[in-house]
Amino acid sequence: MAGSILGHNSIQRRRRLELIVGLIVLAGLCLLPLVVKDVYTQNLIILTILYAGLAQAWNILGGYCGQVSLGHALYFGIGAYVSTMLYVKLGIPPTLGMFAGGLVGGLFALLVGWPCFRLSGHYYAIATVVVGEIGYLLFLNWDFIGGASGINIPFKHESLVELQFRVTKVPWLYLVIAYAGLAWIIAWIIEGSRWGYSWRAVKDDVTAARSLAVRVFPSKMAAAAISGCLTGIGGAIFAQFVGYIDPDSIMSGNLSILIALPAVLGGVGTLWGPLVGSALLIPLKELSSSYLGSSGSGLDLMIYGALIVLIALARPQGLISLLGLFRKPEGAR
């Protein structure tokens, strides 16, 4: 039924609709500073949108191409360290440095992908955990980049080019909106292109994909490069935002999971899943740990863990499926 109503170019219509909704959401986010004045909430929103961008970056590899990476903290950390080192040691502003970080992040994603993409399923997932852990351990012991004690980014002066803002959080908000917007639009472009179709075919059935002339390995590598690059840029922004980085805060295995989770809970391989997932997960995590105590009781972890289990079981296709608008028409009978 849906097919006959929407006519023959339903895909184009859906994509146009998504773009329009995307612009509306973008405009809505940009207006947020007019409404939200309190710094704590602004902070929370900034983190949420940053994670929406990161989760979208993960989604490009994990969601569209189906390669469940549990080591994305590596690319995040590399992006953060590259941009921070360039800034602290050489004085290169982070507005440039974050792209350098993204580039190196993408290169590392290729470097990791080259051996690991020969592994399938759980073997791949575990290999990425291990690669992430190796990166964490090496950075922890690398004195040149500050080792376990990390690097402090000194505040010099308010500067747009150097991404140093103290007077107000609002510039950060616009920066992360631009970042998440970039990730979103890249995902949107991929979804409609030949790549998007090939990647989803690789995710669903490698053998069938190959029989249709889809080049599996290059598909995975391309997805990894874009995903790693965007994750690296996110890491660079995060480093500048918090002003201090160490391997524990930006390269741990938990962070890898936190990058993947919003996409998984929101809706894997969808445009809106990462945003919806972050909008729920990040505030909940931050609020529960600040109200229930992050170091003490463990209650926040229990809530967080139970929520993951419940959503994954109740909505395996993600929270996004609750919003009928973006659901692909089902059961055309």
213 touches other proteins by CB under 8 A:
yes
280 touches other proteins by CB under 8 A:
no
Among 20, 137, 287, 322, binds other proteins (CB under 8 A): 137
Minimum Å gap between C-beta 98 and other proteins is 28
* Footprint on residues 151-210 left by other proteins (CB under 8 A): 192-194, 197-198, 200-201, 203-205, 207-210
301 touches other proteins by CB under 8 A:
yes
- The token duo for 117 is 């993409």
324 touches other proteins by CB under 8 A:
no
4 touches other proteins by CB under 8 A:
yes
Nearer to other proteins, 41 or 294 (CB): 294
Minimum Å gap between C-beta 321 and other proteins is 9
* Footprint on residues 48-77 left by other proteins (CB under 8 A): 68, 70
Residues 79-118 as x/- pattern, contact with other proteins by CB under 8 A: ------------------------------------x--x
Nearer to other proteins, 38 or 330 (CB): 330
13 touches other proteins by CB under 8 A:
no
Among 187, 265, 275, 279, binds other proteins (CB under 8 A): 265
Give the per-residue SS3 of the chain: CHHHHHCCCHHHHHHHHHHHHHHHHHHHHHHHHHHCCCHHHHHHHHHHHHHHHHHHHHHHHHHHCCCCCCCCHHHHHHHHHHHHHHHHHHCCCHHHHHHHHHHHHHHHHHHHHHHHCCCCHHHHHHHHHHHHHHHHHHHHCCHHHCHHHCEECCCCCCECCCCECCCCCHHHHHHHHHHHHHHHHHHHHHHHCHHHHHHHHHHHCHHHHHHCCCCHHHHHHHHHHHHHHHHHHHHHHHHHHHCEECHHHHCCHHHHHHHHHHHHHHCCCCCCHHHHHHHHHHHHHHHHHHHHHHHHHCHHHHHHHHHHHHHHHHCCCCHHHHCHHHCCCCCCC
326 touches other proteins by CB under 8 A:
no
Minimum Å gap between C-beta 40 and other proteins is 24
Minimum Å gap between C-beta 2 and other proteins is 5
Helices 273-292 + 39-59 axis angle, to 10:
140
123 touches other proteins by CB under 8 A:
yes
140 touches other proteins by CB under 8 A:
yes
Binding range to other proteins, per CB under 8 A, among 5-13, 74-82, 99-107, 165-173: 5-13
269 touches other proteins by CB under 8 A:
yes
Residues whose CB is less than 8 angstroms from the CB of residue 103 and which lie 6 or more positions away in sequence, other chains included: 229, 232
Nearer to other proteins, 14 or 30 (CB): 14
* Pairing outcome for strands 244-245 and 151-152: antiparallel
* Footprint on residues 227-256 left by other proteins (CB under 8 A): 253
10 touches other proteins by CB under 8 A:
yes
